[in-house]
Amino acid sequence: QKEVEQNSGPLSVPEGAIASLNCTYSDRVSQSFFWYRQYSGKSPELIMSIYSNGDKEDGRFTAQLNKASQYVSLLIRDSQPSDSATYLCARGDSNYQLIWGAGTKLIIKP
Amino acid sequence: GAVVSQHPSRVICKSGTSVKIECRSLDFQATTMFWYRQFPKQSLMLMATSNEGSKATYEQGVEKDKFLINHASLTLSTLTVTSAHPEDSSFYICSARDTVSYTQYFGPGTRLTVL
C-alpha cells in the first residue's frame, strides 16, 4: 500500500464548478499536509498547508483535513481553465521530509 | 513569499561533460534542501537530501559519485552531474525547506539535455 494515495485522474470539471481533489494516507502520526500544483513542464508550487483537523480557506482554495479518517482534500471553487494542472498531495514525516502522492491531473473545461 | 532560484534554467551539453546546477533560497534560510528528478509524464523522484555542512543522503539507486551535492551555506546547494550521458537528460528540481516553518519551496527547475 502506498503511503499517500491519490486518484491519478484525469478529473474533468466544468468551468465555474467546484473541483474536489482527495488524498488518503496510511501513517496515523502525520501532523503536516501540503497541496502543491504543478503545471506541465514546470516545478511544483505550494498552494496550501494544513496541520489541524477541519477546513482551511485561502481564496478559492479550501483544504480539509480529517486525521481520524486519514484523508485530506482540496476544494477549488469557481474553477478556471488556468486551474488545469496536476495537484500533488504530500504529508510530512517525523523528519519533516515530504512523502508524495502521485498526483491528480485536473482538467477544467470551458 | 519564500523564493527559491535555480540556475541554469536550461542546459544542453555533450556526453561526458559535467554540469553544475545551483539552488538558492533567496529570502529564508534552509538547513535542508532536496534534489528531485522528473522524467516526462512521471512523478517527482527524490534523489537526495542535502544538509548544510554535512554529507548528502542519497535515495536508493542514486549514484552518489555521479550526482555530487554540496550544501556549503544556509542558502545554497549545488548538484553536479558528472560525466553526463543521454540517459541523464531530465528535469532537475530543487526544493528548500524553511528552517522555521519546515515548509518546502521549489525552485523553477533545470532542464538538462545531454547530446
Q: Which residues of B touch A36 (CB under 8 A)?
A: 106
Q: Which residue has the higher pLDDT, B101 or A18?
A: A18
For position B68, what pLDDT does the model report? 96
| DSSP strands (E only) in A8-84 | 11-14, 19-25, 32-38, 45-50, 54-58, 61-66, 71-76
* % of chain B with per-residue pLDDT over 70: 100
Interface of A with B (CB under 8 A): 32, 34, 36, 41-46, 49, 88, 92, 96-98, 100, 102-103
Rounded to a whole number, what is the distance in Å from the CA of B108 to chain A's nearest CA?
A: 5
Q: Is the per-residue pLDDT at A42 higher than 60? A: yes
Q: Is the per-residue pLDDT at A2 higher than 80? A: no
Angle in degrees, CA A85, A90, A93, rounded to 5: 165
How does the average pLDDT of chain B come out, rounded?
A: 94
Q: Is the per-residue pLDDT at A1 higher than 60? A: no
Candidate from A41, A43, A92 with C-beta closest to B102: A92
Quickly count: other Cβ atoms within 10 Å of residue B11's Cβ.
18
Per-state percent for chain B, helix, strand, coil, to nearest 5? 5, 50, 45
Candidate from B91, B93, B104 with C-beta closest to A98: B104
Rounded to a whole number, what is the distance in Å from the CA of A10 to chain B's nearest CA?
A: 13
C-alpha cell at A89: 498531495
Q: Is the per-residue pLDDT at A44 higher than 90? A: yes
Taken as a whole, chain B contains a residue count of 115
Confidence of residue A93 (pLDDT cuts 50, 70, 90): confident
Q: Which residue has the higher pLDDT, B1 or B82?
A: B82
Confidence of residue A13 (pLDDT cuts 50, 70, 90): very high
Confidence of residue A28 (pLDDT cuts 50, 70, 90): confident
Quickly count: other Cβ atoms within 10 Å of residue B112's Cβ.
20
Confidence of residue A96 (pLDDT cuts 50, 70, 90): confident
Are residues B43 and A42, on separate chains, in Cβ contact within 8 Å?
no
Q: Is the per-residue pLDDT at B72 higher than 90? A: no
Q: List the 26-65 stretch of B: residues with Cβ below 8 A of A.
A: 32, 34, 43-44, 46, 49
